Amino acid sequence: MELALEPLRVQGSLQRMLRRGVAVSPGVVVGVAYCIHEIFVDASGKPLRGEDVHRELEAFDRAVEKAAADLRALHAKVASQVGPREAEIFHAHEAILHDPAFLNKVRDCIARHRCTAQAALQRVLKEYTTLFARTKDDFLKERLADLRDVIVRLSGHLSRVIKEGPGALGGEPLVVVADELLPSHVITLGDCEVSGIVTQSGGPTSHAAILARSRGIPAVTGVRDILRQVKTGDRIIVDGREGLVVLAPDPESEAAYRKLQREFVHLQHQLAENRDQPAKTADGTPLELLANVNGLGDLPAAEAMGAQGVGLYRTEYLFLTHPSVPSEEEQLENYRRMILQAPQHRVTIRTLDIGGDKTIPYLGHRGEANPFLGWRSIRLSFEHPEFFQRQIRAVLQAAAIQTTPPARVQLLFPMVTIVEEMQRLRALVRRCQRQLQAEGKPQGPVQIGMMVEVPAAAINIDAFLNLVDYVSIGSNDLVQYLMAADRDNPKVSHLCQPLSPAVLRVLHHLIRTCLRSGKPVTLCGEMAGSPRGFLLLLGMGLRSFSMSPAFIPLVKKLASSVTVAQAAQVAQHALELRTARQIRRFVAQQIHQLCPDVEILDVE
By C-alpha distance, which of 217, 323, 329 is closest to 268?
217
- Tell the burial category of 439 from Cβ atoms under 10 Å away from its Cβ (0-12, 13-18, 19+): exposed
Tell me which of 75, 207, 345, 508 is the catalytic residue. 207
Q: How confident is the model at residue 504 (pLDDT cuts 50, 70, 90)?
A: very high
Supply the pLDDT for residue 31: 93
Average pLDDT over residues 455-461: 97
* pLDDT surpassing 90 at residue 489: no
Which numeric CATH code is attached to 12-40+163-268? 3.50.30.10
CA distances from 156 to 66, 169, 185, 273, 394 (A): 10, 21, 10, 41, 30
Helix (H) or strand (E) segment spanning residue 572? helix 564-576
> Is 432 a catalytic site residue?
no
Residues paired with 452 in a beta bridge? 473
Q: Is pLDDT above 90 for 380? A: no
Q: Choose the weakest-confidence range: 374-378, 466-470, 517-521.
A: 374-378
The rounded mean pLDDT for the chain is: 85
Question: Regarding beta strands 194-199 and 18-20, do their DSSP bridges make them parallel or antiparallel, or are they unpaired?
Answer: unpaired
**Catalytically annotated residue among 115, 496, 524, 595:** 524
CA atoms within 13 A on the CB side of 449: 27
CA atoms within 13 A on the CB side of 351: 31
Q: For the segment 69-93, what is each residue's pLDDT rounded down to a tens digit? A: 888 887 787 777 767 776 777 888 8
Per-residue confidence (pLDDT) for residue 175, from 0 to 100:
92
User: Who contacts 157 (Cβ-Cβ below 8 Å, separation ≥6)?
Assistant: 62, 63, 66, 67
Which pLDDT score is estimated for 164? 43
* Domain range list for the chain: 12-40+163-268, 50-158, 277-547
Closest CA to 210 of 181, 176, 179: 181
**Do the bridges between strand 18-20 and strand 22-25 make them parallel or antiparallel, or are there none, so unpaired?**
unpaired
Q: How many helices (H) and strands (E) does the chain have?
A: 24, 16
Architecture of domain 277-547: Alpha-Beta Barrel (3.20)
d(CA 287, CA 280): 5
Q: Do domains 12-40+163-268 and 50-158 have the same CATH topology?
A: no
What confidence score (pLDDT) does residue 162 get?
Answer: 40
**Cα-flanking dihedrals φ and ψ of residue 471, to 5°?**
-125, 140
242: pLDDT strictly greater than 70 = yes
**Cα separation, 347 vs 313, whole angstroms:** 7
Of 127-131, 396-400, 407-411, 546-550, least confident by mean pLDDT is 127-131
Q: Name every residue whose Cβ is closer than 8 Å to that of residue 6 and which is 6 or more positions away in sequence.
A: none
Residues 525-582 pLDDT 10s = 889 999 999 999 999 999 999 998 989 999 999 999 999 999 999 999 999 999 999 9
Question: Is residue 244 within 8 Å of residue 220, measured between CB atoms?
Answer: yes
Residue 43 has what pLDDT? 42
pLDDT tens track for 247-304? 999 888 899 999 988 888 888 788 888 888 999 999 999 999 999 998 898 899 899 9
Phi, psi of 209 (to 5 degrees): -65, -45
Poorest-confidence range of 49-53, 103-107, 216-220, 307-311?
49-53
Helix axes 564-576, 531-539, angle to 10 degrees: 100
pLDDT number for residue 7: 47
305 in helix, strand or coil?
coil
- What pLDDT is recorded for position 182? 65
Instruction: State residue 1's pLDDT score.
Output: 40
Bond preceding residue 405 cis, omega within 30 of 0: yes
Closest to 490 (Cα-Cα) out of 275, 290, 200, 212: 200
Q: Greater confidence, 426 or 84? A: 426
- The two beta strands, 470-473 and 521-523, are parallel
Answer yes or no: are the C-beta atoms of 211 and 301 closer than 8 Å: no
Distance CA 21, CA 237 (A): 13
Is 524 one of the annotated active-site residues of the chain?
Answer: yes
Cα angle, residue 419 at apex, residues 414 and 422 outer, rounded to 5°: 45
CATH superfamily, domain at 50-158: PtsI, HPr-binding domain (1.10.274.10)
- Amino acid type, 107: R
H/E/C letters for each residue in 193-218?
Answer: CEEEEEECCCCCCCHHHHHHHHHCCC
Q: What is the pLDDT of residues 188-216, one digit of tens each?
A: 555 567 899 999 887 776 767 777 887 78
